[in-house]
Structure 1
Amino acid sequence: MSTPAGPGTPPPPPPYPPSPPRTDPPRWAWWVGGIAIPLVGILVTVAFGGKDSGPVAAPAPGSVDTVTQPSSPSPSGMPSSEEPEPPASSDEAPSASASASPEADLTAPDGYAEALSTMWGLAPVPCTQHEQQLINLDDGTGRTEDEDNGAVQEPGGAELLHWPDTCTGLGDYQLRALPNTRVGLLRADAPKSFDSCRAAAGTGFGALALSERNDREDRGFVEGAALCSVTDKGAVAMAVIEHIAGDAVDDVSVSGPLYVWAAAP
């Protein structure tokens, strides 16, 4: 039992109010949680991720995309059967009939009309008909007369004679320029123009056995070449050899374009 305070003694201070209850976890709980959570993650990884799921099954044939793969190179010295054939040796001479012919330049010089363009040709008939053909290069026309062993009865302004030299049935026809004419051969690789043709006309053109291919090629009478003439009318004619057909057994026919620069009046 407390003794009452005497007179003049101050009263005691009131008691402190009680502290509110703690709601946050104690500090040690944070340390435990910081250690436990990573440890649980490691255990889960080991438990589930560490299991070997086994090798992946290979895809079934044909299930992959069909992509064309380049063929493997062939071993050295063993060419593949699919490799292209090697190009022909450059030493091999091309066929004379395949010679490239420059495009014709039809420009007319002073004193000549614009070039006339038409056709010309040699068309052999059976030798038993005993005909020879005369070709006028002013316009490409031809006419026939009785064959006389290459002699001409009446030239009539023609420049070429096409006649059967023999009658054996095996390539009988020959071709030559008529006497007193200016006819020559312009080679296949030469420029096809007025000036080059007029110059070639002065080279002459002797008899040629058309059925002898070797002779034709040696002389330059091949596809792409041209027979050139300064005609009796003063025109310059260029008869291009565009097509040759026939051989030693069949009489040869020839055809192509004819360009004529007529002299101005």
Structure 2
Amino acid sequence: MAGIALPLLGIVASLVVGMDRDDASPTVAAPPSSSSASSDSVDPASSEEPEPTATTPASDDKSEAPPLDPPDSPLPSGSGGSASKVDLAPPQGHGPARESSWGLVPAPCTNYEQQLIDLDTGLSRVEKEDNGRIEEPGGAELHYWPDSCTGGGDYRLRGVPNTRVGLLRADDPHTAEQCRKVSNTGLPPLNLNDSETTEQAGFVIGAAICSVTTEGAVAMATIDHINEGGFAGENTASGTLYVWPKVS
């Protein structure tokens, strides 16, 4: 009996050991987290640097760039607008600017006429010439009369006596306040056909005649055009008239 028991015990022991091994399943590693998967399980193809495409960098590609606008150009003096930029801000005690036109167009000297221009309105009137004397100023600020009658360069332009008229140079600020200041400088007789004298005086395209008018307004008559050898052989001038009326 003892000999039979010993083999049976060996068989039972073997069965127990085998059961223990079946129950102890092999350890399986937990699946990696998303972060570890991205770092540890990287597709070799995705880790390679992308090959550069054969395209021109955007900074050098000018085919799609819109064309640049041409630079602003100054207004030509003969284009019909003011040749100088005018600041329309009214000076103290004056209202917004009124805008109109002015001009000098003399008659033949044999008509013995003189032209008087009111810078409050830009309107001119004619009266008989009397050796430069004015019979009735009538609120005018400019006087254009024939000083001689030789067939050219006969007329002279000046400020009417006892008025405040001056010349604003082309490179001066074109403001009402600056215009008021230069109106105290006077406008002596000018022969518009004598270009050397008028240029020295500052009577050129881009300049302006300024006045504090008989009605207390500040007037700026810009010189936008000078036509040489115009009507009756005389140089003529014209432009835009800005008037800042006095506020009562």
What is residue 61 of structure 2 aligned with on the other side? none
Counterparts in 2 of 1:140-159, with a 5 A limit?
140-159=122-141
| Aligned-pair CA distance for 1:109 | 3.0
- Preserved CA contact (<8 Å) 1:101 1:188: no
What is residue 10 of structure 2 aligned with on the other side? none
| Aligned-pair CA distance for 1:102 | 4.1
Alignment partner for residue 186 of structure 1, among 152, 168, 183? Answer: 168
**Superposed CA offset, 1:118-164 (max 9, x none):** 00000011111110000000010100000111110010110110011
Going from structure 1 to structure 2, the CA distance change for 1:263 and 1:227 (only over 3 Å counts) comes to same
- Preserved CA contact (<8 Å) 1:246 1:253: yes
| Aligned-pair CA distance for 1:198 | 0.4
> 2:149 & 2:243 partners in 1: Cα distance?
34
Alignment of 1:256 onto 2:213: no
- Which consecutive unaligned segments of at least 5 residues does structure 2 have? 1-76
| Aligned-pair CA distance for 1:250 | 2.2
Larger relative contact order (CA 8 Å, sep ≥ 6): 2
**Superposed CA offset, 1:199-249 (max 9, x none):** 010111111111111111010000000000001110000000000001499
Superposition RMSD in Å: 1.9
Counterparts in 2 of 1:20-99, with a 5 A limit?
none
What is residue 208 of structure 1 aligned with on the other side? 190
- Preserved CA contact (<8 Å) 1:212 1:247: no
> 1:167 & 1:102 partners in 2: Cα distance?
34
Counterparts in 2 of 1:101-112, with a 5 A limit?
102-112=84-94
Amino acid in the other structure paired with 1:126: P
> 2:91 & 2:133 partners in 1: Cα distance?
36
| Aligned-pair CA distance for 1:110 | 3.4
Aligned residue for 1:239, secondary structure, equals: strand
Amino acid in the other structure paired with 1:178: V
> 2:125 & 2:138 partners in 1: Cα distance?
10
Alignment of 1:173 onto 2:171: no
> 1:102 & 1:153 partners in 2: Cα distance?
35
> 2:84 & 2:227 partners in 1: Cα distance?
21
What is residue 11 of structure 2 aligned with on the other side? none
What is residue 19 of structure 1 aligned with on the other side? none
Alignment partner for residue 230 of structure 1, among 186, 202, 212? Answer: 212
What is residue 6 of structure 2 aligned with on the other side? none
- Which consecutive unaligned segments of at least 5 residues does structure 1 have? 1-96
> 2:196 & 2:91 partners in 1: Cα distance?
37
TM-score (norm 1): 0.61
- Preserved CA contact (<8 Å) 2:167 2:202: yes
Aligned residue for 1:256, secondary structure, equals: strand
Aligned residue for 2:184, secondary structure, equals: helix
Aligned residue for 1:203, secondary structure, equals: coil
| Aligned-pair CA distance for 1:171 | 1.7
What is residue 198 of structure 1 aligned with on the other side? 180
- Preserved CA contact (<8 Å) 2:153 2:193: yes
Amino acid in the other structure paired with 1:153: E
TM-score (norm 2): 0.65
Q: Which runs of 4+ in 1 moved over 2 A?
A: 247-250
> 1:155 & 1:117 partners in 2: Cα distance?
23
- Preserved CA contact (<8 Å) 1:213 1:247: no
**Superposed CA offset, 1:1-51 (max 9, x none):** xxxxxxxxxxxxxxxxxxxxxxxxxxxxxxxxxxxxxxxxxxxxxxxxxxx
- Preserved CA contact (<8 Å) 1:136 1:158: yes
> 1:208 & 1:110 partners in 2: Cα distance?
32
- Preserved CA contact (<8 Å) 2:114 2:145: yes
Aligned pair count reads 168
Q: Using the aligned pairs only, state the percent identity.
A: 53
